[in-house]
Amino acid sequence: KPTIVWFRDDLRLTDQPALHAAVTSGRPVLCIYIFDQVSEGVRPLGAASRWWLHHSLASLDDKLRTIGGRLFLFQGATEAVVAALLRTGIEGLMFNRRYQQAERRIDDAVVDLCRREGVAVEDFVGSVLHEPWEVIPKTGGFYKVFTPYWRAAVAHGPTLPPMGVPGPMAKSAPGPRVEGGPVALEELGLLPEISWDGGLCDTWEPGQDGAQRALDLFLREKVESYATDRDRLGVAGSSRLSPHLRFGEISPREVIAALERRAGSSAEKFAAELGWRDFNTALLFHVPDLSTAPFHKSYARFPFTKLTPAALAAWQHGRTGYPVVDAGMRQLWQIGTMHNRVRMITASFLVKHLLADWRIGERWFWDTLCDADPANNPLNWQWIAGCGNDPVPYFRIFNPVLQGEKFDPDGAYVRRYVPELADLPDRWIHKPWEAPSDVLVKVNVVLGKTYPAPMVDHAKARVRALDALRRHRETL
Ligand code: FAD
């Protein structure tokens, strides 16, 4: 009878404790993935994540074949699929733990099911540096502010060293036929019907090999200057590991272990960014409704402006008239990611300049980001909106012109994603409305025609947001 290795957000062979334990047991192993978008509370994946998952599953199957295994795909409600599999005769079940509420409920139900059938279950830690209950204040509860959290996490000491790829599998069990599968990858229908994914295909290499290559490139060329370059919009100064980490094609322990060979402030800064990932995962674990409810409950009463469909579409598709905002939103649409600083600028624009509900933006990012993460996405949005656990001060309103001038001084980022402004001199690239008309004529820019005029005036929008935020605070 085989032991099942249940892959979830850990689509790799390296540092894969569940796979490692199953393979080294010497028993036959059945590797499965269940595509479950129907169990209660599960948040259906966005379009970019579905694209990523398709390629990541294909890559995992290829990898498993190199050690004598293969991946069997199932779809439907997890409990029903597992119950059906158990009926075919299963020795044990192994998986790496997950931390979101709906997923934990499913996992608990599956564990109960196995226990009732006398099937042994083993679970492991594979997706985080520290589990949410490991780094907690001495006084109990959980950390609400990152700095003390990270200090405690560092003091907590190193996590387990990463494991290598397990040896060849003893004997790969055939995939039993049950309701829900096995199905062919194409049957999951993860790829778009209309092919909008050209930019994603050109940019990314989903899967374990792509993750390792991104890490190698980062360590070879970027880590030394990470602390400064991560904020430069025209430079690919960050690791681009986020979707790989999101789908578990590389573990954070592997990244930290590779990083530890590099001392220095840049490496420390980078390690702390990985700390944010754990911190957000822990917060969502302790306060499960944070994906849709504000940490500060009073913000549930904030009088958001209801955007017109045209205003929302202008933000979504990069037609706000603010070049750095538009470049970011177009980068997201084209290649399924956006520079971290521009995520902050575009998010702030939506929630402060347009006074829209942060959840509208969170949902758009969820659909379009390849790294859309159940914890990182809503909690970063809450941070920007000012309703999060440790938010930016409410009066901090990113000025899209100054941010552009500071972090994209030569306009390289804007020119790449807003080609209609490509010939504008640096001086006006972030504020084309201030360019003299003869300059605009010369570079073929007609505001309101070839490129939109600003949809709101920054100074007025700032005053309106501050007023609304102050009034709201007075009601607390
Ligand atoms: P690097 O700078 O190389 O950082 C390394 C890793 O650290 C990242 O891959 C990521 O796993 C983690 N990390 C970095 N910054 C953060 C952060 N602020 N919060 C949590 N983890 C972080 N990140 C996501 O992974 N998924 C999301 O859905 C997501 N949504 C966001 C929404 C908004 C509004 C904002 C402002 C930020 C969001 N981020 C999200 C955080 C951050 O923008 C991305 O993690 C980062 O841009 C990914 O690029 P990178 O891998 O090159 O990052």
Collapse the DSSP code of 181 into the 3-class scheme (helix H, G, I; strand E, B; otherwise coil) and give the result: strand
Protein residue whose Cα sits closest to atom 45 of ligand 1: 242
Is residue 404 predicted with pLDDT exceeding 90? yes
How many residues does the structure list for the chain?
476
How many other C-beta atoms lie within 10 A of the C-beta of residue 143? 21
Predicted confidence at residue 263, as pLDDT, reads 65
**Residue among 66, 68, 71 at smallest CA distance from 10:** 71
Confirm or deny that 211 is annotated as ligand binding.
no
**Residue among 155, 151, 369 at smallest CA distance from 243:** 369
Protein residue whose Cα sits closest to atom 47 of ligand 1: 340
Predicted confidence at residue 273, as pLDDT, reads 96
Is residue 353 predicted with pLDDT exceeding 80? yes
DSSP string, 227-290: HHHTT-TTS--S---HHHHHTTSS-HHHHHHHHTT--SHHHHHHHHHHHHHHHHHHHHHHSGGG
What is the Cβ-side half-sphere exposure of residue 45, based on CA atoms within 13 angstroms?
Answer: 22
- Tokens 């949902």 -> residue: 363
Ligand 1 nearest atom to the CA of residue 280, by list position:
20
39 burial (CB, 10 Å; 0-12 / 13-18 / 19+) is middle
CA 130 – CA 394 distance, rounded (Å):
31
Q: Considering the chain, what is the average pLDDT of its residues? A: 95
Q: Which of 1-5, 141-145, 260-264 has the lowest mean pLDDT?
A: 260-264
Is residue 233 predicted with pLDDT exceeding 90? yes
Tokens of 41: 């509370």
Confirm or deny that 372 is annotated as ligand binding.
yes
What is the Cβ-side half-sphere exposure of residue 402, based on CA atoms within 13 angstroms?
Answer: 5
The region, left, alpha or beta by phi > 0 then psi within -120 to 50, assigned to residue 26 is: left
Q: Ligand 1 centre and the CA of 26: distance in Å?
A: 39
**Residue 242 Cβ < 6 Å to ligand 1:** yes
CATH architecture of the domain covering 1-126: 3-Layer(aba) Sandwich (3.40)
Is residue 149 predicted with pLDDT exceeding 90? yes
What's the one-letter identity of residue 352?
K
Contact by Cβ (8 Å): 123, 369:
no
**Residue 344 Cβ < 6 Å to ligand 1:** yes
**Residue 276 Cβ < 6 Å to ligand 1:** yes
Arithmetic mean of pLDDT, 302-314: 96
The region, left, alpha or beta by phi > 0 then psi within -120 to 50, assigned to residue 276 is: alpha
Arithmetic mean of pLDDT, 238-265: 91
Predicted confidence at residue 173, as pLDDT, reads 67
Is residue 189 predicted with pLDDT exceeding 70? yes
CA 270 – CA 216 distance, rounded (Å):
14
Predicted confidence at residue 172, as pLDDT, reads 67
Protein residue whose Cα sits closest to atom 52 of ligand 1: 240
Predicted confidence at residue 436, as pLDDT, reads 98
CATH architecture of the domain covering 128-162+208-286: Alpha Horseshoe (1.25)
Protein residue whose Cα sits closest to atom 20 of ligand 1: 277
118 burial (CB, 10 Å; 0-12 / 13-18 / 19+) is exposed
CA 20 – CA 251 distance, rounded (Å):
14
Could you give phi then psi for residue 451, rounded to 5 degrees?
A: -150, 140
Q: Which residue from 370, 376, 379 has its CB within 8 A of the most atoms of ligand 1, so it is best to mutate?
A: 376
Chain-centroid distance of CA 142 in Å reads: 23
Confirm or deny that 240 is annotated as ligand binding.
yes
CA 154 – CA 274 distance, rounded (Å):
12
**Residue among 241, 230, 159 at smallest CA distance from 205:** 241
Sign of the dihedral through C-alpha 336, 339, 340, 342: negative
Arithmetic mean of pLDDT, 150-168: 88
Q: Ligand 1 centre and the CA of 368: distance in Å?
A: 14
pLDDT band of 24, cuts 50, 70, 90: very high
Helices (H), ranges, 369-455: 376-385, 400-407, 412-417, 426-429, 437-442
CA 246 – CA 251 distance, rounded (Å):
9
CA 49 – CA 256 distance, rounded (Å):
25
Contact by Cβ (8 Å): 237, 229:
yes
Q: Which residue from 276, 371, 377, 392 has its CB within 8 A of the most atoms of ligand 1, so it is best to mutate?
A: 371
CATH number of the domain at 297-471, out of 1.10.1270.20, 2.40.160.100, 1.10.579.10, 3.40.640.10? 1.10.579.10
Ordered strands of the 92-96 beta sheet: 71-75, 29-35, 3-7, 92-96, 120-124
CA 72 – CA 174 distance, rounded (Å):
9
CA 246 – CA 292 distance, rounded (Å):
20
Predicted confidence at residue 194, as pLDDT, reads 92
**N-term to C-term CA, the chain:** 61
Is residue 171 predicted with pLDDT exceeding 80? no
Q: Name the residue ranges covered by the structural domains of the chain.
A: 1-126, 128-162+208-286, 297-471
**Residue 274 Cβ < 6 Å to ligand 1:** yes
**Residue 380 Cβ < 6 Å to ligand 1:** yes
